[in-house]
Amino acid sequence: MKLEIFKAGKIFNPIKGTKNKPVLQHKKIKVTVPARLNTMCFDLKTLTKPKKKFIYNAGELAFSVNVNTYAKLIITKNDNGSVLLSKNTKRKSIVKHAALMMKNALKINDLFLIEANNVYDYPHAGLGSSSSLISAVCIAINEAYGKPLSPRQLTLFIAQNHGEEIESDDERLIHVQCNGGSPSVALYYGGMQIIAGESNMIFREEFPEEYTFVFGIPKMYKKCDAQCLMAIEKTQFPKMLKSSKDFSKEIAWKVLHELIPSIMNKDMKSIGDILQYYRFNTGSLVIDSRTWKGLYSLVKSLMKYRNDATPIISVSSCGPAIYILTKNPKMIEKILKDKKMITFTAKPNNKGYSILYNF
């Protein structure tokens, strides 16, 4: 896969299907979206070379969690069509990309003033913060104009035109693979979602409310831009292809016959068994440890704390953020702090995005 750099606002895959005419209904709106945890990827091969540009058949199991990202939008009607970003907006190229894509796709000429940020500032730690930013901005614009795009249209549009920031460049982005988990958990109810090929959400279920997520950011984490991390990931493409060849059919069987029934039954221990198999048996965590040295041994050292009350211990996406699902968050948070991690907790999200009209 070529590392592709492009200008903010460029559309590679247009909106699919018929879209309604955008009609401005709210000149001021704030949208808050949850984070997605990419708990497992069903087939790594497509991430190395998709058959269609920016469209991936990797699939994923996404968890939705209240690690939030917000977008505040103020619209001035019939102006010069500019996008102005608040000085408080940190990742300007990503926010600009989302706004310009929507303006171009919906043919909107109004002026946008936008402030958008991740509440938890750990970019490229595996929490989907880039895609959450794009999702928050796109959803805010869609809501402001009477929802001309359906949840499915918006999910595909966001996922299939994804880009992330390059350090010290507010005008350009680099393409990074996106399976669609972030827009899907924002746009659909249900905190556990199966994302199939081409970013299509095919199954969802509510998360049990009695659990809490405890997050640990290991000391190995350092802020790197997407261009740097993609260059490292590309060196792992041969291992990703081998993992796909050896395990993709077995993973597909497990998803259909074990994972989906376990989700339907809200059997979190069985879901945790499948995620443990995925991370330790298929080479997933070994591949991720090439980017984040020591991640494999760190996660392995935590597995002894896994039990019925703490059914899932894993990493999100490529890491290095570790998440632990538990009924004993204080105890688990202490364990992570003892390992010199930055910690925070959050509850599962079953409702998707939220809206505020007066802020």
Q: Which pTM value belongs to this model?
A: 0.96
* pLDDT tens string 6-50: 999 999 999 988 889 999 999 999 999 999 999 999 999 999 989
Topology adopted by domain 212-346: Alpha-Beta Plaits (3.30.70)
| 320 prior amide bond cis, ω within 30 | yes
Q: How far apart are CA 30 and CA 182, in angstroms?
A: 18
- What pLDDT is recorded for position 199? 96
**pLDDT of residue 79 exceeding 80:** no
**pLDDT of residue 231 exceeding 90:** no
* pLDDT tens string 296-349: 999 999 999 999 999 999 999 999 999 999 999 999 999 999 999 999 999 999
The two three-digit tokens of residue 127, written as one number: 């929490």
Percent of the chain with pLDDT over 90: 88
- What pLDDT is recorded for position 12? 97
Class for the domain spanning 5-207+349-356 = alpha beta
Is the Cβ–Cβ distance between 288 and 318 less than 8 Å?
Answer: yes
Q: Work out whether strand 111-118 and strand 83-85 pair parallel, antiparallel, or are unpaired.
A: parallel
**pLDDT of residue 226 exceeding 90:** no
Domain ranges of the chain: 5-207+349-356, 212-346
**pLDDT of residue 291 exceeding 90:** no
> Cα dihedral angle (247, 44, 253, 214), rounded to 10 degrees?
110
**pLDDT of residue 135 exceeding 80:** yes
* pLDDT tens string 89-112: 999 999 999 999 999 999 999 999
- What pLDDT is recorded for position 217? 97
**pLDDT of residue 139 exceeding 90:** yes
- What pLDDT is recorded for position 78? 73
- What pLDDT is recorded for position 93? 97
What is the mean pLDDT of the segment spanning 154-166?
97
> Residue 62: phi, psi to the nearest 5?
-110, 130
* pLDDT tens string 172-215: 999 999 999 999 999 999 999 999 999 999 999 999 999 999 99
**pLDDT of residue 81 exceeding 80:** no
**pLDDT of residue 359 exceeding 80:** no
Q: How far apart are CA 102 and CA 105, in angstroms?
A: 5
Q: How far apart are CA 73 and CA 115, in angstroms?
A: 7
